[in-house]
Amino acid sequence: MASDSESSDVTPDDQHEHLRPEGTEPLARIAVDYTPDACRHAPESGEIHVTYDHRGGARWRSRSRFLPGGAVAAAVRAPAGDTAGLNYNLYLSSLEGSGDMDEIDFEFLGNEKRAVQTNFFVAGRGGREAVHELPFDSSDGFHHYAVAWGAEAIEWRVDGEMIRREERRDGEPWPEKPMFLYASFWDASGVDEGRWTGTYHGRDAPYVCSYRDVRVPVALSAKEEEEEEE
């Protein structure tokens, strides 16, 4: 397992401009929805480390929702070792667990370190999955993942290269609800009888998924601005 201290190493590639999409700012504050002792946030370095072990995993999120018309981004290093069965991710959702949620995903499937799945949901309905091969092992180092989400299109980018673009079609539903930025780390062995992520063995636990330079849109939704003020 890679240690947290290794994640603070900065290479020249991490300074590429695509790490900071226009109209974004660093995510300064997070909320942890469960197992807070398995999630370590270091605001001074902009790093978040989520551990999966005997406690299970954890889920963190932004404290505010964001409107369409912006981008979210982060450098992510997948956990090392045999991660079969595990799911770790970066995604937008109007409210995790809600039956009518809008959502836009990057999901890493633990049985395949050289692929990432994208998907989006509208009013709780998904079924728009696509799996993309990666030209690298996602646990070897930090790589950059970004989603640009607007009223007419969604774009997913990896290390600055667009891997998927979905354009809105007349009459078809579209994700329009304000969304939080989320990330979680969990055992997905039970999904589709283990065919999705494989079966969890845990032989290399504890596992650490690391995030840094997390970027979110500058503007909040009016509703969330009011809540923040309260």
Residues tagged active-site: 103, 107
Positive/negative CA dihedral, 218, 219, 221, 223: positive
Q: At 1, which amino acid appears?
A: M
DSSP character at residue 224? H
Contact (Cβ atoms closer than 8 angstroms) between residue 110 and residue 131: no
What separation in angstroms does the CA of 95 have from each of 87, 89, 92, 99, 148?
19, 16, 9, 9, 19
Strand partners, 122: 125
Q: Quick one: how far is CA 28 from the chain centroid?
A: 16
Q: 12 — phi, psi (to 5°)?
A: -55, -35
Positive/negative CA dihedral, 142, 82, 157, 43: negative
At 164 the three-state DSSP class reads strand
